[in-house]
Amino acid sequence: MAEAGAEGDKAVILVSGGLDSTTVLAMAQAQGYACYSLSFDYGQRHRSELLAAERVSSAMAVVEHKLVQLNLDSIGGSALTDTTIDVPEEETEGIPITYVPARNTVFLSIALGWAEVLGANHIFIGVNAMDYSGYPDCRPEFIAAYETMANLATRAGVEGERMSIQTPLMDLGKGDIIQRGLALGVDYSLTVSCYQASAEGLACGRCDSCRLRRQGFVDAGVDDPTRYS
């Protein structure tokens, strides 16, 4: 789902510091939205992404960047929030252990609240149905259901100010995403996608996210600027 924004319309952009969300931010800006970036310190093991989100937001001159503290590591259940669970370095079938239970549901809820405070009617999220690693909360069915809920649960929705959840990457492959971003001037060297990046932001090159990212640059036919350990 993608809509052209009226010049200056406010939008909340979920920015993780990774390749996809940075591309989404560039797309939203290109459509004329006044962008407010939102990141989450949710207890993830790859915390260098938070510094990347800050770098991206600063470099791309968002109106405001907000970091919200959550403690999803207190419930665990994912290799990204529980350090006793190893991040898999081989391809797996089904929903992988890197899935964080209810993460996008929680993230979108906070984004929805901030959007209401800002008077923004648009939320952008970089979910993708093609390279989504099997996560159930990255599917178009989830986004459609969440948008319906958002318009039932908010003052804005009740008063006729429809809230939209925009997913401009939903049907794009990683190579296409990279090409779109480069055309918009995205500097992917600022981003961190690795599930187990070092404190300095060096990527492992072996996890699922690294494999998808590396292949994306191959498919796009451009050099990979990722810093690997």
Domain borders along the chain are 10-220
Q: According to DSSP H, which parts of 73-190 are helical?
A: 103-118, 140-153, 155-158, 174-183
Instruction: Record the pTM.
Output: 0.94
In this prediction, residue 6 carries a pLDDT of 60
In this prediction, residue 46 carries a pLDDT of 84
In this prediction, residue 2 carries a pLDDT of 47
Enter the CATH code of domain 10-220.
3.40.50.620
> Cα 183 to chain center, whole Å?
19
- pLDDT means per 10 residues, the chain with 229 residues, are 65 97 98 98 92 98 98 94 92 87 97 97 93 81 97 94 96 96 98 95 94 96 96
In this prediction, residue 215 carries a pLDDT of 95
As to burial, measured by CB atoms within 10 angstroms (0-12 exposed, 13-18 middle, 19+ buried), residue 115 is buried
As to burial, measured by CB atoms within 10 angstroms (0-12 exposed, 13-18 middle, 19+ buried), residue 126 is buried
Residue type, 121: N
Sheet strand arrangement including 10-14: 64-69, 34-41, 10-14, 122-124, 164-166
Cβ atoms of 20 and 167 closer than 8 Å: no
